[in-house]
């Protein structure tokens, strides 16, 4: 029987912080983040559960929408997200503003709503 990818199964490098020193915390680009069973208990941050014993903990995501980490949510953050989407630049999990596991126009609209409100 051959296994195939599905909910809770990945065939990619989990991207631990430091495997050699037994640090199994997930990096912010890990495919394990928000890839667990959506029918199970959510993580402490309210997102879909992560795969693995340790849930993802990123201090940078604490200010939703501040993608350049300058303590301001403004048009620069929108530009950072647009570059991520259109130029296939590195996108961290923090860029998924609506937490649907995709980087798209809906995340841009969510940042704009954060700025307006």
The average pLDDT across 13-36 equals 82
Q: What pTM does this model have?
A: 0.52
CATH of 63-117, picked from 1.10.287, 1.10.1330, 1.10.10, 3.30.390, is 1.10.1330
* Beta carbons of 59 and 97 less than 8 angstroms apart: no
Q: 8: which strand partners?
A: none
DSSP strand pairing (16-18 vs 23-26): antiparallel
pLDDT at 44: 65
Matching residue, tokens 């991520």: 84
pLDDT of residue 15: 86
Mean local confidence (pLDDT), 18-45: 79
- Provide the Cα torsion 80, 86, 88, 92; round to 10°: 40
pLDDT score of 62 more than 90: no
Domain boundaries, the chain: 8-57, 63-117
Query: Collapsing DSSP states into helix, strand and coil, what is residue 74?
Result: coil
Instruction: Give, as one character, the DSSP assignment of residue 62.
Output: G
């Amino acid at each position: 029987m051959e296994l195939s990818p599905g909910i809770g199964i990945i065939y990619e490098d989990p991207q631990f912080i430091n495997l050699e020193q037994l640090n199994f915390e997930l990096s912010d680009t890990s495919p394990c983040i928000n890839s667990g069973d959506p029918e199970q208990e959510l993580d402490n941050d309210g997102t879909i559960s992560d795969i693995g014993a340790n849930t993802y903990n990123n201090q940078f995501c604490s200010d939703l929408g501040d993608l350049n980490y300058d303590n301001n949510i403004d048009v620069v953050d929108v530009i950072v997200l647009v570059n991520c989407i259109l130029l296939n630049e590195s996108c961290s999990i923090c860029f998924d503003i609506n937490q649907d596991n995709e980087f798209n126009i809906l995340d841009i609209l969510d940042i704009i709503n954060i700025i307006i409100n």
